Amino acid sequence: MRRRTFLTLAAWLVGTTSLTRATVIHNHVPWAPHPNSPPEIARPGPWQFFTLDEARAMEAIVDRIIPPDPETPGGKIAGCAVFIDRQLKGPYGSNQGLYTLGPHTKGTKEQGPQSALTHADLYRKALAALDKHCKSTQGGKSFAELDAAAQDDVLRKIESGEVKFETVDAQGFFSALLKDVPEGFFSDPIHGGNNDMVGWKMIGFPGIRYDYRDWVNRHNERYPHPPVSIAGRADWTPAKS
Amino acid sequence: MARKLPRKDVVIIGLGWTGSIMAYELADAGLDVIAIERGPWRNTATDYPPGYAADELRYRIRHELFLSPGQTTFTFRNKMSEAALPIRSWGAFMPPNGVGGGGVHWNAETWRFLPSDFVLKTHLTERYGAGFLPGDMTIQDWGVTYDELEPHYDRFEYLCGTSGQAGNIKGTIMEGGNPFEGPRSRAYPNPPQDQPFGHTLFGKAARELGYKPFPQPSGNMSRPYQNPLGVRLGPCTYCGFCEWFGCGNYSKASPQTTVLPALVRKPNFTARDNSEVTRINIDSSGKRATGVTFVDASGDEWEQPADLVVLSAYTIFNVQLLLLSGIGKAYDPAANTGVVGRNFTHQTISDVVSFFDPEKFVFNPFIASGAIGMCIDEFNGDNFDHGPHGFVGGGYVGQVQTNGRPIETTPVPPGTPLWGAAWKKAVKDNYQSAIKPGTGVHGSMYSYRDVYVDLDPTYKDRFNRPLVRITMDFHDNEIKQNKFLTDKFAEIFQAMGARQVHKEYRKAPYDITKYQTTHLCGGAIMGTDPGTSALNRYLQSWDVPNLFVLGASAFPQNAGYNPTGTVAALAYWAADAIRSKYLKNPGQLINA
Ligand SMILES: Cc1cc2nc3c(=O)[nH]c(=O)nc-3n(C[C@H](O)[C@H](O)[C@H](O)COP(=O)(O)OP(=O)(O)OC[C@H]3O[C@@H](n4cnc5c(N)ncnc54)[C@H](O)[C@@H]3O)c2cc1C
Ligand code: SF4
């Protein structure tokens, strides 16, 4: 074994597992009194990955993928762009843990994506190309400046392959959106999206309530309790007296 | 240079289900045992407590409990004529990593195979004639029978506290159980789990159609349970965060909740985590393993000498270590020679997604557990006459809806746009009244000459060793089988009153990006002839008798059930052979 490969392994392990050192376990359960892998909670605040222009485009996009309606807010208010921002800043954005060694050859559909781009690079390039495309075809307007119908039209043309980008696979970007935006709408609010659990309330998903023993036998009755997140519920926090 | 550690009686590679069972059995026999595990130690209380275990993004979507492809992956192609490319992010299956292995995040669907599954080649040839089987199909008998394994299945079910309804106790058919199962010596240790609404509807409709539905045997506890090793499990709360997740309630049978608490207290057992075995070492005769070499998390290389080596690293890693260590002759499909890599199989999973009237049906799909389901077994194995249908094999079909987690399970009727207002409305309208069974059709995949694994000529892992290359495609037999099962399954949903039933057949070519199951089988198969199998009927290597290879890599072909019941029964069967035969006279247990 060459020393260099060892170092790669060590670096990999430090980045991704809760126990970073190999341990020898003998005659005891290696139980530590404090949790060693609590979740990472996305903090509110400024954009961490997107530039202001990119963020404007993203907020417009997520509101077209999941538009607002009278009962439920759309992707923007739900925080889908914030969710994607925090994801792209983190391990997902840098393709951490994926197999990234070359050669990178385009294969069959059944062999799966082979691109050398990270998710972060894909968004960066695609958002730039999107604005460039809009400005050259829509009288100098960026995507965010278009009205909803025109935005839908651009997105539909990307989806169908009619609009292509020079620098990056436009359809590949659209597939990423169709995966990432609903994730932001439906994942636990601790990740920055699903604000106020709007995605869960829309469908009647109770979140992480965890115990349905009283309910498993109550057939065809609607479960009545509102959702709970890993961070709890706002109305469980006692009001200051 | 690797530093040498003190010799042990036994070294176990991988501390998942089979490694834990074997470690316990051999430590119990008084041997000095060490287990070396690639991933980290994992505890219920510290790694997935109820307060944050239910994080769909973290565990289901980002796969936190799994092996990262960056650490090791495989290359894949459909045909021998194509160039294989790396699986860069997981798709069709997802390999485990860490103490407990797949037992941490499995569903705990706990099945036995049919008696005929173990003598498949003989059985099918006798019933239909040799000409009925496709010419390139390479199915074989196992070399072990159902009756021989029965006591070991029983041990595993009692270890796990399996919840279920027996269908056949010592030849007496039991009402409400699976009438097709092989005779069992006693009932399950726990009664079946309660069934949510959609599942009971399925049972009712199936019964009305003349089938014999029964609750799927489940390793999710229907009540508190103490197992024969004195370890306690708590009742399942139907949380719906089971498959892909660790159970924060100690309610799912896993090595952590059944064996490890008893095992780690044995003074003659040691585990090393975050340490990957890179090679099984062989002496100059080529017929004796001297131990293993592994690399720990700091990148240091160690040699662990041992008298007995147990390889229990999961199907595809078992084959990888055999190939990289030069043990047994590698399979060559062109010449049809060699045994290691041969008879690799996966599964034919398909689905029927059904949409009911939202005014009349509220399913609360989030009330679920990993293994909850109502199934029928009429179309599994050779439970029905295949003569008129022109294919062999089968599977169970069932309403096995394990979750209502909204990133994964928000089905919309076919034809709905993929985004926008119409999509959003369809998600909202159908969430409570649609049924999307996870592994609704759970079908067999038999073995073929051109489906196998070997070492990739191009792509390397982080140790600069070749990746394992998978060459896999579906054959006509499996496509026909899947269509038949999926159609039968859809009829039951129609009878339940669905207003729209959408069949998602499994089609060729095999697609590495679509999740099926992590039920990979074969590659280091057991059998009676060293010319066509890598292991004898006790899972002992024909080439290196002090090496035993556990796991589904031993299956000569896949059956229409989840594998772990059989994987564990074989581990107990091998442990029994080691304890009662091998230790008295270490050497080949079978003369070829
Ligand atoms: C999401 C999911 C759901 C499943 N659901 C079911 C189900 O409901 N029913 C069912 O029957 N089966 C199910 N399975 C399959 C089940 O998990 C496996 O059959 C079972 O875990 C196999 O046991 P094993 O001991 O062979 O391997 P594993 O449990 O995978 O253990 C192998 C261990 O070896 C370690 N290892 C690998 N390589 C090395 C190395 N080089 N050095 C050191 N350590 C190594 C791994 O990290 C792992 O911990 C499921 C699997 C998955 C992934
Ligand atoms: S469904 Fe039951 S067994 Fe599964 S994780 Fe939840 S409580 Fe545990």
Q: Which of B223, B238, B254, B400 to mutate to test the pocket of ligand 2 (most atoms within 8 A of CB)?
A: B238
B-chain residues near A10 (CB < 8 A) = 297-299
Euclidean distance between CA atoms A197 and A236, whole angstroms: 14
Tens-digit pLDDT profile for residues B361-399: 999 999 999 999 999 999 999 999 999 999 999 999 999
* Contact predicate B180/A203, CB 8 Å: no
Atom of ligand 2 nearest to the CA of B252: 3
Query: Is residue B540 helix, strand or coil?
Result: strand
Give the three-class secondary structure for B131.
helix
Rounded to an integer, what is the distance from CA A85 to the centroid of its chain? 8
- Look up residue B203 and give its DSSP letter: H
Q: Determine the pLDDT at residue B551.
A: 98
Closest of B4, B11, B5, B16 to residue B31, by C-alpha:
B11
Q: Using CA atoms, how far apart are residues B116 and B250, in angstroms rounded to an integer?
A: 35
Q: What pLDDT was estimated at residue B45?
A: 86
- pLDDT for A23 equals 84
Q: Is A36 in contact with B464 (Cβ distance < 8 A)? A: no
pLDDT tens, B482-522? 999 999 999 999 999 999 999 999 999 999 999 999 999 99
Instruction: For chain A, give the mean pLDDT.
Output: 89
Residue B413 pLDDT > 50, yes or no?
A: yes
Q: What is the pLDDT of residues A68-82, one digit of tens each?
A: 999 999 999 999 999
Query: Which of B419, B423, B514 has the highest number of chain A CBs within 10 A, making it the mutation to test binding with A?
Result: B419
- Chain A residues whose CB is inside 8 A of the B278 CB are 1
> pLDDT digits over B20-68, tens only?
999 999 999 999 999 999 999 998 988 999 999 999 999 999 999 999 9
Residue A21: pLDDT band (50, 70, 90) is: confident
Asked if B18 contacts B571 with a C-beta cutoff of 8 angstroms, the reply is yes
Helices A119-137 and A80-89 cross at an angle (nearest 10°) of 130
Please tell me the distance from the alpha carbon of residue B590 to that of residue B382, in angstroms, as a whole number: 30
Instruction: Identify the three-state secondary structure at position B408.
Output: coil
The crossing angle, in degrees rounded to 10, of helices B146-160 and B564-577 is: 110
Q: pTM, whole model, 2 decimals?
A: 0.96
Measure the CA–CA gap between A56 and A228, rounded to whole angstroms: 30
Tell me what pLDDT residue B294 has.
97
pLDDT given at position B438: 83
Contact A109, B511 (CB under 8 A): yes
B241 vs A40, higher pLDDT: B241
Instruction: Say whether pLDDT at A233 is over 90.
Output: no
pLDDT for residue A39 = 87
Structure token digits, residue B102? 């797949």
Mean predicted confidence (pLDDT) in B143-162: 98
Of B50, B297, B423, the CB nearest to A10: B297
Contact in structure between A6 and B295 (CB atoms under 8 Å): yes
Chain segment A155-168, per-residue pLDDT in tens: 999 999 999 999 99
Best CA proximity match to B63, nearest among B99, B103, B109, B105:
B105
Ligand 1 centre distance from Cα of residue B420 (Å): 39
Best of A8, A19, A40 to substitute, by most chain B Cβ atoms within 10 angstroms, is A19
Ligand 1 atom closest to the Cα of residue B320 is 41
**CB-CB: which of A30, A99, A188 is closest to B57?**
A188
**Interchain CB distance below 8 Å, B406 and A203:** yes
Compute the distance from residue A227 Cα to the ligand 1 centre, in Å: 33
* Mean per-residue pLDDT of chain B: 97
pLDDT (tens digit per residue) in B76-89: 999 999 999 999 99
pLDDT tens, position by position, B518-574: 999 999 999 999 999 999 999 999 999 999 999 999 999 999 999 999 999 999 999
Residue nearest to atom 8 of ligand 2 (CA): B247
* pLDDT over threshold 50, residue A12: no
Say whether pLDDT at A9 is over 60. no
Subunit contact A99:B296, Cβ cutoff 8 A? no
Proportion of chain B above pLDDT 90, given as a percent: 97
Q: What's the pLDDT band for A5 if we cut at 50, 70, 90?
A: very low
How distant is the Cα of B209 from the closest Cα of chain A, in angstroms?
22
Closest CA to B522 of B558, B477, B472: B558
**Beta bridge partner(s), residue B277:** B294
Q: HSE-up of B298 (CA within 13 Å, CB side)?
A: 6
> What φ, ψ does residue B546 adopt, rounded to 5°?
-90, 25
Distance (Å, whole) CA A177 – CA B65: 25
**Residue A190: its chain B contacts at CB < 8 A?**
55
Residue whose C-alpha is closest to residue B539's, from B152, B150, B144: B144
The answer to whether the beta carbons of residues A117 and A93 sit under 8 Å apart is no
Helices B564-577 and B17-28: crossing angle in degrees, nearest 10, is 20
Q: CB neighbours of B60 closer than 8 A, spacing ≥ 6?
A: B244, B245, B405, B407, B408
Is it the case that residue B346 has pLDDT exceeding 50?
A: yes
Identify the closest residue of chain A to B460 by CA–CA distance.
A101
Query: Do B128 and B119 meet the contact criterion of CB atoms below 8 Å apart?
Result: no
pLDDT class of A149 with cuts at 50, 70, 90:
very high
Question: What count of Cα atoms within 13 Å lies in the side-chain half-sphere of residue B159?
Answer: 28
Q: Where residue A239 falls among pLDDT bands split at 50, 70, 90?
A: low
Do B512 and A111 count as a contact with CB atoms less than 8 A apart?
yes
pLDDT band of residue A14 (cuts 50, 70, 90) is: very low
β partners of residue A26: B270
- CA torsion, ordered B420, B425, B428, B431, to nearest 10 deg: -90
In the prediction, which pLDDT does A34 show? 53
Catalytic residue list of B: 519
Taking a C-beta distance cutoff of 8 angstroms, is the pair B185, B150 a contact? yes
| pLDDT, average across residues B164-191 | 98
Residue range B194-211, pLDDT digits in tens: 999 999 999 999 999 999
Q: Which of B68, B238, B428 sits opposite A216 (nearest CB)?
A: B238
SS3 letters across chain A? CCHHHHHHHHHHHHHHCCCCCCCEEECCCCCCCCCCCCCCCCCCCCCCCCCHHHHHHHHHHHHHHCCCCCCCCCHHHHCHHHHHHHHHHCCCCCCCCCCCCCCCCCCCHHHCCCCCCCHHHHHHHHHHHHHHHHHHHCCCCCHHHCCHHHHHHHHHHHHHCCCCCCCCCHHHHHHHHHHHHHHHHHCCHHHCCCHHHHHHHHHCCCECCCCCCCCCCCCCCCCCCCCEECCECHHHCCCCC
User: Are the Cβ atoms of B462 and A5 closer than 8 angstroms?
Assistant: yes
Q: Is the complex ipTM higher than 0.85?
A: yes
Positive or negative: CA dihedral A145, A151, A153, A158: positive
Position A3 scores a pLDDT of 38
What's the CA gap between A166 and A144, in Å, rounded?
21
Distance (angstroms) between ligand 2 centre and the Cα of B236 equals 5
Among B323, B286, B319, B336, residue whose Cα is nearest residue B531: B336
What is the pLDDT averaged over residues B451-479?
Answer: 96
**What ligand 2 atom has the least distance to the C-alpha of B250?**
8
Q: What is residue B245's DSSP assignment? A: S
pLDDT above 70 covers what percent of chain A?
86
Rounded Cα distance between A103 and A93, Å, is 21
At A13 the pLDDT is 43
Instruction: Give the pLDDT confidence score for residue A31 in this predicted structure.
Output: 63
